[in-house]
Amino acid sequence: MAIDLNIEEIRLIGEAWTSPTLYSHLTTLCDFGSRFGGTPGEAAARDWLRDRFSQLNLSNVHLESFTYTGWHRGTCQVRMLTPREIPLPSAISLVYSPSTPQGGLRAELVDVGMGTEEEFSTHDGKLTGKIVMVSSASPEGSRTWIHRREKYGRAVAAGAAGFLFVNHLPGRLAPTGSLRSGRIAEIPAAGLCLEDGFLLSRWAEKGPVTVEMNIQNESRPTEAAHVIGEVRGNPGRETIIVGAHYDGHDIAQGAMDDGSGVALVLELARLFAPLAGRLPRAIRFICFAVEELGVLGSTEYVRQHAQDLNDVALMLNIDGGVTGGVGGFSLSGFSELRPLLRSWTEAMEMPLKLDETIATATDAFPFVLAGIPAINMRSRGRDPKLGRGFGHTAADTLDKVEPRDLHDAAMTLSRLLLRLATYPNPLARRRTRDKVRQMLIEHDLERPLRAQDKWPF
Ligand SMILES: [Zn+2]
């Protein structure tokens, strides 16, 4: 039976706004703990998500597992040694940091500001053997924010012995995040809160400063699994992938990043499950594993499915928070989507911002590299000056997510997904490998990706 789009849309809006499970699902996810790769909370969340998909009667509900290099936080102490001994108690290891020698690593500190390419070049030849300190800020008006992995990569390339990554926002919150993708990084690295970083820069302005880093972490082969379920479409037609990552960082609940995204995936699955067999395009819901280890899980998924993603028309990625509801989408360079999405947002009378940005540090990116059209949800309340805000700190907790914003996002996303699944014409063009490369170069991403050890791809 064909579906009446107007009636369906009104049903989706009503169901999304009144959903009894949307926020409670986020609460449950946060109660599993961080869901960091290799923890019992991750395994519990995985099994719970699979049960939710089964309970919703999705088709083809299954786990897809793979093995990767796991990483487990041990101890981390950082202190200024000279000219005065001062501990820096906020210090935490960054993910995939190797251990220092027992007894610690001591070296002179160099403050490289925000860690831009230009700032690194002013220290050319002077960073060998030094502990490089950069802030998590990006210059105002820069093309996009400069990723931690890019700054780290430049420090490694410059011959640094250690790396300190300082939060640019106050509140005694040290940032975490991965240094490399799926492998132990080259030099020890720690996150510091703004207040500890400010102290170091203040002393470094006056004269030479020596810092000691003492870091011990562990690594072992670890298994992770994506959770997958589908709403059937018309046989032989295309598939839309809707994804979010269910792992978080080990220091927080990962409520915004990305518990909220997974709660939305569950909600969309609930809303669309009754439409099985009645939509032209199928919808595949994927809760990705271990995104926080350098976009590792989705990279593995695209690699394992290199031969059978030909029917995927679009990947919709929901990552990093819903503050203020849906603000728009980044189109990852697939600019032909703009007029289509524009006409839909006008029909919905919802002004959504569409930008061309190719976000390289989230689960859409491996799909983009494979030439598959992929877009990222942006939250309305996102202030570029804040960067990640509370994300990747111990304060990414349930209280940061407004239930109303979640419902707002579920409404907007469900209306969009209905259109994506039923639009009779092609959505966007696939890109060849050469075209993807060209697109990345046009977006000025070659050097940032090279610094992150992701170029050539
Ligand atoms: Zn995320």
What is the residue whose two structure tokens read 């939060």? 167
**Interior angle at CA 303, CA 184 and CA 316, nearest 5:** 100
Is residue 1 scored above 70 in pLDDT?
A: no
- Give me ligand 1 centre to Cα 101, in Å: 32
Amino acid 197: pLDDT:
98
Q: What is the distance between the alpha carbons of residues 310 and 239, in angstroms, rounded to a whole number?
A: 9
Distance 205 CA to ligand 1 centre (A): 35
The overall longest dimension of the chain from CA atoms, in Å, is: 77
Q: How far is the CA of 10 from the centre of ligand 1 (A)?
A: 30
Distance 400 CA to ligand 1 centre (A): 15
The residues near 205 (Cβ < 8 Å, ≥ 6 apart) are 111
**Spacing, Cα 265 to ligand 1 middle (Å):** 14
Using the mean position of ligand 1's atoms as its centre, give its distance from the Cα of residue 246 in Å: 9
How distant, in Å, are the alpha carbons of 84, 122, 337 from that of 116?
29, 10, 32
All structural domains of the chain with their residue ranges: 5-69+221-447, 72-219
257 CA to centre of ligand 1 in angstroms = 5
User: Ligand 1 centre from 256 Cα, in Å?
Assistant: 8
- Is 414 strand, coil or helix? helix
CA of 278 to the centre of ligand 1 (A): 32
Q: Could you tell me the distance, in angstroms and rounded to a whole number, from the CA of residue 359 to the centre of ligand 1?
A: 11
Q: Which pLDDT value is given to residue 160?
A: 98
Span from the CA of 225 to the centroid of ligand 1 (angstroms) = 17
Q: What is the pLDDT of residue 382?
A: 75
In the reported structure, the alpha carbon of residue 292 is separated from the centroid of ligand 1 by a whole-number distance in angstroms of: 7
Question: What is the whole-number distance in angstroms between the Cα of residue 258 and the centre of ligand 1?
Answer: 5
Architecture of the domain delimited by 72-219: 3-Layer(bba) Sandwich (3.50)
Q: What CATH number labels 5-69+221-447? A: 3.40.630.10
10 Å Cβ neighbour count for 320? 25
Lowest-confidence range among 129-143, 360-374, 418-432? Answer: 129-143
- Mean pLDDT of the 198-205 span: 98
Amino acid in position 177: G
Q: What is the DSSP string of 53-65?
A: HHHTT-EEEEEEE
CB distance 437 to 371 below 8 Å? no
Instruction: Name the token pair of 229.
Output: 């379920």
Please state the rounded mean pLDDT for residues 252-264: 97
* 139 φ, ψ (degrees, to nearest 5): -60, 145
DSSP bridge pairs for 82: 210
- Distance from the alpha carbon of residue 360 to the mean position of ligand 1, in angstroms: 12
Q: Ligand 1 mean position to 277 CA, how many Å?
A: 31
With a cut of 80, say whether residue 224 has pLDDT above it.
Answer: yes
Q: How far is the CA of 291 from the centre of ligand 1 (A)?
A: 7
Burial 90-116 (b: 16+ CB within 10 A, else e): bbbbbbbbbbbeeebbbbbbbbbbbbb
pLDDT tens-digit series, residues 407-438: 999 999 999 999 999 999 999 999 999 999 99
| Model confidence pLDDT, tens digit, residues 64-118 | 999 999 999 999 999 999 999 999 999 999 999 999 999 999 999 999 999 999 9
CA of 92 to the centre of ligand 1 (A): 19
- Please list, in sequence order, all residues whose beta carbon lies within 8 angstroms of the beta carbon of residue 423, skipping any fewer than 6 positions away: 340
To the nearest 5 percent, what fractions of the chain are helix, strand and coil? 35, 25, 40
DSSP state of 70: E
362 Cα–ligand 1 center, Å: 6
Q: Which helix (H) or strand (E) holds 67?
A: strand 59-82
